[in-house]
Amino acid sequence: MQLAAVVLVDGLVYASYLFMVGVGLTVIFGVQRVLNVTHGAFFAFGAYMSATLIGLWYGADLPAFGGFLMILAAAVIVGVVLGVIIERGLLKFLYDRDEHIVVLATFAAFLVLEDVILLVWGHDPYYAFQPMQLLGSTRIAGLAFDNFNLSMIGISAALATGLWYALRRTTWGKMLRAVIFDREISRAMGINVTAVFLGTFIIGSMLAALGGAYLAPTISVQPGIGVEVIVLAFAVVVIGGMGSIPGALIGAIVVGISRAAAIHMLPQIELFVIYGIMAAVLIWRPEGLFAPVTARKI
């Protein structure tokens, strides 16, 4: 019984981590049909920016809870700046090109940004553990869990609800769905597709950066953190169905819980859990668990 509870909590924490890492990718793919490898670099930039801002904040001896504001600020700054640069400076020219070429272009941009991080922040790791220390820990099923990690569950739930609401219940969401369904007709109907694309890309980038920014306090921020994240994000998004937000959520939960169960009961298979589920889902339902339906052109 205790084991089940621990697996559930661990699984949900990891699922929230995966969701935060993957949701930005799925938003951008859903609207723009761009599989954005740069995502990993946005994540890393978010983490670096967050660690820098948190360091400055506590260095200046400002009120402790402001550290959380810095996390948010980091995500917004990185999302807006990099989002605009990549969308306006690169993707804009590629929307008519083959989808694989676009993936490759974002892969190239990712390589470039990885080295830019090195040029800006150098090799040394950055720490920003203060927000995590601040929150303390809670005992669940006899084990101590740190509240910072638990708070990720709340953040992910809020993100999922917020995005779902925005897409389903707002005018902006309707516009977005129209663009997803048919770009040309939307344009003819007077929707500013260029603005929708830019807006979506900025939001997707912010979400990617938020993943990095929020995790920064729990890790040592250093070169290479972006590469690891890309595969995870891909896996979550592919499992859930590319472009589907509920899919990403369910995908994250499936992987999170299975991984937690594996680690507690059969640690040897941890490495394969995520790829194994990915392969299994793809074999069974190649378009993912929640694939948006597409028309077959004759």
Partner 1 sequence: MNASRNRISTQVVGALAALSLLAGAGGALAKDEVVMAVPTFLTGAGGAAFGIPGKNAVEIVVEAINAGTLPAPYNTKGFAGARVKAMIYDESGGNTKQVTEMRTRVQQDKVDLFAGFISSGTCSAVAPVAEELKVLTLLTVCGTPRVFEELDKDPKYVFRTLNTATASNVSLAHYVAQKMSKKNGYTGINQNYAWGQDSWRDFDLAMKVLAPHIKNTSTPQFPKLFSGQYGTEISALLRSPEEIVHASVWAGDLEALVLQGGARGLFQKKTFLFTVGDSGVYRLADKFPKGSLIGARGPYGIYAAPHLDGSPLNVWFQKTYRERFKEQPTQSAYQYAQGVLAAKYAYDKAMKANGGKFPSTDQVIAALKRAEFPTLSGTVKMAIGKGHQAITDDIWGGFIWDAKLNEPTVSDVIRFKAECVNPPDDVDSVEWIKGGMKGAKCS
Partner 2 sequence: MTRLIDRTVIGLTAAAVLFGLLALLLPDWVRFIATQSFARGAVALGLLVLWRTGLVSFGHALFFAIGAYAAAFVQRALVNDAFVMTLAGMLGGGLMAFALGFLLCRYRGIFFALLNMAFSMVLWGLLAKNEALGSTDGMGVASPEFFGVELDGGATHLALFYFALSSALVFAIGVHLYLRSTLGSMSTAVRENEIRLEYLGYSAARAVHVKYVISGVLGGFGGALMAMVVGQVDPDSMAYWTISGEFVFIAILGGTGNVGATFIGALAFEAIRSAAFQWAPTVWQLIMGGTLLAIIMFLPNGLWSMVARLRERRAS
Smallest gap from residue 298 Cβ to partner 1 (A): 45
Residue 278 in the binding site for partner 2 (CB under 8 A): yes
**Which partner, partner 1, partner 2, none, binds residue 149 by CB below 5 to 8 Å per kind?**
partner 1
What residues between 87 and 116 interact with partner 2 by CB under 8 A?
Answer: 90, 93-94, 97, 99-101, 103-105, 107-112, 114-116
**Binding of residue 296 to partner 1 (CB under 8 A):** no
Which option in partner 2, partner 1, none does residue 206 bind, with CB closer than 5 to 8 A by kind? Answer: none
Q: How many residues bind partner 1 (CB under 8 A)?
A: 44
CB 264 within 8 A of CB 39: no
- Annotate each residue in 211-240 with x if it binds partner 1 (CB under 8 A) or - if it does not, as one string: ----x-xxxx-xxxx--x------------
Closest CA to 14 of 149, 147, 154: 149
In whole angstroms, how close is the CB of 32 to partner 2 at the nearest point?
12
When CB distances are held under 5 to 8 angstroms depending on the partner's kind, the choice from partner 1, partner 2, none that residue 235 binds is partner 2
Where does this chain bind partner 2 (CB under 8 A)?
Answer: 35, 90, 93-94, 97, 99-101, 103-105, 107-112, 114-116, 118-119, 227, 231, 234-235, 238, 242, 268, 271-272, 275-276, 278-279, 282-283, 286-287, 296-298
Q: Which residues form the interface with partner 1 (CB under 8 A)?
A: 2-3, 6, 9-11, 13-14, 17, 115, 118, 123-125, 127, 129, 132-133, 137, 143-146, 148-149, 215, 217-220, 222-225, 228, 259-260, 263-264, 266-268, 270-271
